[in-house]
Structure formats: C-alpha cells, structure tokens
Amino acid sequence: MDFKEEIQKRRTFGIISHPDAGKTTLTEKLLLFGGAIQEAGAVKNNKIKKSATSDFMEIERQRGISVATSVLAFIYKDKKINILDTPGHKDFAEDTFRTLTAVDSVIVVIDVAKGVEEQTEKLVEVCRMRNIPMIVFINKLDREGKDAFDLLDEVEQKLNLNVTPLSFPIGMGYDFKGIYNIYEKNINLFSGDSKKNIEETIAFDDISNPELDKIIGETAANDLRDNLELTQGVYPKFDTEKYLTGELQPVFFGSALNNFGVRELLDCFIEIAPSPRPKMAEERLVKADEKELTGFVFKIHANMDPKHRDRLAFVKIVSGTFERNKPYLHVRHDKKVKFSSPNAFFAEKKEIVDISYPGDIVGLHDTGNFKIGDTLTEGESLHYKGIPSFSPEHFRYINNADPMKAKQLYKGIDQLMDEGVAQLFTLEMNGRKVIGTVGALQYEVIQYRLEHEYGAKCTYENFAVHKACWVEPTDKNNEEFKEFKRVKQKFLAKDKLGQLVFLADSQFSLQMTQQKYPTVKLHFTSEYK
C-alpha cells in the first residue's frame, strides 16, 4: 500500500463527555466492532472513584490504566482507527485539552437524561475554537430522558453548535422501539440484546410505506413521520464539507450499553471523519502527505516502575513516516536522536514497530529529554503550535520539607511539570515557587510522586490567586509597563518558559489593573501570539 493510501486509511479521534455519560462503554463497543477485543468489560474503567482524593493506590491504579488505554487502535472495514483516551475527571482536564491537539475529529457523548453537562461544555468549546469536526452521540435511549427536539435545542444553545440529526429515535425508555437512520434510510429495531454484534436493519427509503405501521405500530409510525418531517424543515441538510470545517455537527442516537446505534455511528464515522488533517506550525502549514517526518509530543507518561525513571512520550505523527532507528531532529534541543524501540498501540497492547504513518501515535522511551509540545523533524526547524496553558484554578506555594533533598525536589518538580501534571510559577520578588493546578487532586499526586519517585518531601502553603494572566506589553520600554512592573511586583511571576505572568488576587484587582494599564495586555492562555 502506498504512503497516500496509508494516510487516507487513518482516523484518529477522541471521545469526549462528562463523566458517566458512557464514554468507556462506547469505546468498548467500538473495539468490539473492530474485533480488537472479544468480550465486553475488557476496557478497564479509566476513572477515579469519587472517594479517591487521598487514596494513593487508586491514583497509581488510575495511572497504570491510563497508560494502557492512552491509545486504542483497531482496524474496521479497512480503516485504521486510533482512539485517543481523554480523562473525564475534571481535575485532569488539562490532559484532555492537550490530547485534543492530537485528534483529527471527536465524538461527543451526551446522556439523554442529563443533557449537556458542564465538562462537555468546556471540552466542546476547545474543539469549536479549533474547528475540530464533531459528531454528537446521544446515549442511553433505553432510559427515560429528554425529548429529542429539546435535546437538539439544548446542544445547539449550550454548546453553540449547528446540528443536524442523522438518526432519529422511535420512542424512548420503556417504549424505545428503535432508530430510523436518516443517513442510510433504514430502521434498526431495538431488542435490548447487548450481545448482538450485528444488527439487522430494514430498509425504508420511503417512510410513508404502510409496512412501517405494521412493524412499529401505527402511532409510533405516524409520530416518526411527523418528527422526520419536522427535522427536514428545521435542520440543515447534512453536508460533509461543513462537518469537516466545523460548521455542522451530525447527531446520532443510541444506547452504548446495548450496543445499539453504535454500528450506524461507526459506519458513518469512517465515511465522513477526516483522515489526518494538515497542522499549523509557527513557521508554516504542514500537510500529512509531505514526505519528511514531523510530529509533536502531546503527552508524557512516567513509567510505573519508580526504580527506572523512564517515561513514555506520546508523539502524534503529522507528516511523513516515523521509522525505527532513523535519526530525527529534536528541534528544541537542536540535536539528532534515534529510537530503537518505538511503540505502536493496538487494542490494549503496545508493540515495537518499524514504521508508522501520519495519524498514528508512537510511544518513545524517554529519560527526561522531552517536554509536552516538543517537535521532531528530519532537519527542519519547525515548532508546532496549539498546546496552550490555561490559567490554573488552584495555587499553592511548594516548600522543601527535607533540606538534604533539595536537588531531588527541584529535579522532581521539573520533570513532573514537563509531564504537564501542573504548572510552575516562580515569583519575581523572592524566587518562591508556586504550583498551579486544575484540581486539588494534583497536589496529592505531586506530593506522592515526589516522595516515591524522587525521594523528596514537600509541603504546601495556600496562596490566594484568582487567575493567572500572561502579560504582553505593547512596548517593553514604555513608562506604563515599567510602572506596572513596579507596582505589581508582588504579583508577578515567570512561568516555566520564562514568560511573564500576572497572578491577580481577585476579579476586582484584575479589572482595575486592566483599566489602569491599558497598553499592558493580559491573556488568559499562555499561547497568545
């Protein structure tokens, strides 16, 4: 198979949802279709139990599983499908944001009863900003939930999307009869038998056909006719181009647990979802079918064995092929490196591979040379954009609790920050170190890992910060900027890349600062240029 065909074959995507909407269940059913796993229950639940805040065994267990499920790959109808796992727990939202820089499309799972939930809103916003093509799957139709039209409205309004249903439910919950597939023009009857792998569908090109009444009953048939007429009047016709540019999102209904409506979703997905898309680097747009390799690190995972401080860096291949033992340029270090055992991912295993293609993810063993966002090329000085840091929600001073182990502590902090566990800020005034995180859970993870992997002990002290803002002066030499730096000295810090950050202690002080120093721009993400 030639290079271009390999690219066309690949579909690399993420499933996003609020916890409990059914992401794990859907992933598992997709893998079943690909024949990648034999039975239900094989995909481990990559979730942190609600009681896990101080349960370190749970944290370790979760880290172990998250390596195993980081990338799940399978072949379906001759397409190579790579599912990138996105943690649902909100304390790990940063991880998910970063993973979204490596996907070419996403499937959004929504619970029919709960509708659009908080975590879904945040994740979809990130996808919308990047024009990532999205398919919506409304799950748990076997349960009572919201009316289909109300839900479609809710998705449009809360998620700011422009939807069009490609399937439509017939009844719901106790009365759930099945689904009309608008895309394929057929009916799939619900039997509630989750073991059924292949669903039989009945073709209905024309739903006015009286056969429909015989199959689902007169009332349900008339309701379906009315509903479909309404959808035609209200929603735009599906258009693949618009889906690909992020202007239109098709919606499917089903029940992942019952493996119902999943085949329709998958069949449509492989047909319409994009193969690896071009990616913007600081220097230029890179197309997947360019011959030379380019790729970037979007995730780093520490090895589970604390004795070997070895990590796995996950690289998304954007263009060219990645070959074993071939030297590549580590752009940030300006050094050639080669890898004797790059890993590729299959269902739940990883294996050494000789060659990987755009859209694939390779796992590289790393002893501390990689940071999230690093780019690999065949010699070109290229920097991939698109992994911004957002303002953390929590801030604490980190103190060294064992003076004999200062070196270990700083090394540990450094490496954990490279992994993207949290963000480090160093105060301009006194050099004190502040750790910013999305959730409180990370502080415990950091403390535990510093002790177990680096032999260092730390304590924390609260530091009241409302928001971290990245500072961009219009002119570094103007008086206003100088005054800003003088007056706000106590609140200024450098992030890990040496960028200036203003740590506003309240919304009020943030607003006052913006008013008083209009030429000093304050940004809410690190990547504002």
**From 20-28, 283-291, 427-435, 453-461, span contacting ligand G4P (CB under 6 A):** 20-28
Which lies closer to ligand G4P via its Cβ, residue 45 or residue 507?
45
Q: Say if residues 13 and 103 touch (Cβ distance below 8 Å).
A: yes
| Per rule CB under 6 A, count of chain residues that contact ligand G4P | 19
User: What does 317-368 look like in DSSP terms, one character per residue?
Assistant: EEES-EETT--EEETTTTEEE--SS-EEE-SS-EEE-SEE-TT-EEEEEESS
Q: Which of 95, 142, 264, 495 binds ligand G4P (CB under 6 A)?
A: 142
Query: Given candidates 20, 247, 428, 527, which one binds ligand G4P under the rule CB under 6 A?
Result: 20
- The yes or no reply on residue 14 touching ligand G4P (CB under 6 A) is no
Of residues 49-88, which lie at the interface with ligand G4P (CB under 6 A)?
Answer: 88
Residue 213 corresponds to which tokens in the numbers above? 């009444």
Cβ 504 to ligand G4P shortest distance, Å: 34
What residues form DSSP beta bridges with 13? 83, 105
What residues have CB less than 8 Å from 467, skipping those under 6 apart? 391, 503, 504, 507, 510, 524
Q: Which residues are annotated as a binding site for GTP?
A: 17-24, 85-89, 139-142
Query: Residue from 7, 12, 13, 23 that binds ligand G4P (CB under 6 A)?
Result: 23
Q: How far is the CB of 256 from ligand G4P (least distance, A)?
A: 4
CB of 519 to ligand G4P, least distance (A): 46
How far apart (Å, rounded) are the C-alpha atoms in residues 308 and 352?
19
Least Å distance, CB 403 to ligand G4P, is 43
> Which pairs with CB-CB distance under 8 Å and at least 24 residues apart come from 305-311?
306/452, 306/453, 309/367, 309/368, 309/415, 309/453, 310/365, 310/366, 310/367, 311/365, 311/366, 311/367, 311/368, 311/370, 311/415, 311/419
Residue 521 binding ligand G4P, by CB under 6 A: no
CA distance 273 to 373: 25
Residue with Cβ nearer ligand G4P (88 or 420): 88
Q: Which of 15, 32, 33 is nearest to 24 (CA)?
A: 15
Q: Which is nearer to ligand G4P, 19 or 386 (CB)?
A: 19
Please report, as residue ranges, which positions from 217 to 276 form the binding site for ligand G4P (by CB under 6 A). 255-258
Q: Closest CB to ligand G4P among 51 and 430?
A: 51
Q: How far apart are CA 321 and CA 323, in angstroms?
A: 6
d(CA 209, CA 230): 18
Closer residue to ligand G4P (CB): 35 or 192:
192
105-111 and 10-17 beta bridge pairing: parallel
Beta carbon of residue 197, minimum distance to ligand G4P (angstroms, whole number): 16
Distance, in Å, from the CA atom of 221 to the CA atom of 91, rounded to the nearest integer, reads: 46
Binding-site member from 12, 17, 181, 294 for ligand G4P (CB under 6 A): 17
Among 22, 87, 412, 420, binds ligand G4P (CB under 6 A): 22
> Could you tell me the smallest distance in angstroms from the CB atom of residue 28 to ligand G4P?
8
CB of 34 vs ligand G4P, minimal distance in Å: 17
21 forms part of the interface with ligand G4P (CB under 6 A): yes
Closest to ligand G4P by CB, 135 vs 313, is: 135
Residue 520 bridge partners (DSSP): 473
Which residue numbers belong to the known binding site? 17-24, 85-89, 139-142
C-alpha torsion sign, points 253, 254, 256, 262: negative
Segment near ligand G4P (CB under 6 A); pick from 138-146, 206-214, 496-504, 505-513: 138-146
CB 86, min distance to ligand G4P, A: 10
Entry field: residues in the chain:
529
In the beta sheet, which residues pair with residue 502? 469, 492
Burial grade of 217 (CB within 10 A; 0-12, 13-18, 19 or more): middle
The residues binding ligand G4P (CB under 6 A) are 17, 19-25, 45, 47, 88, 139-140, 142-143, 255-258
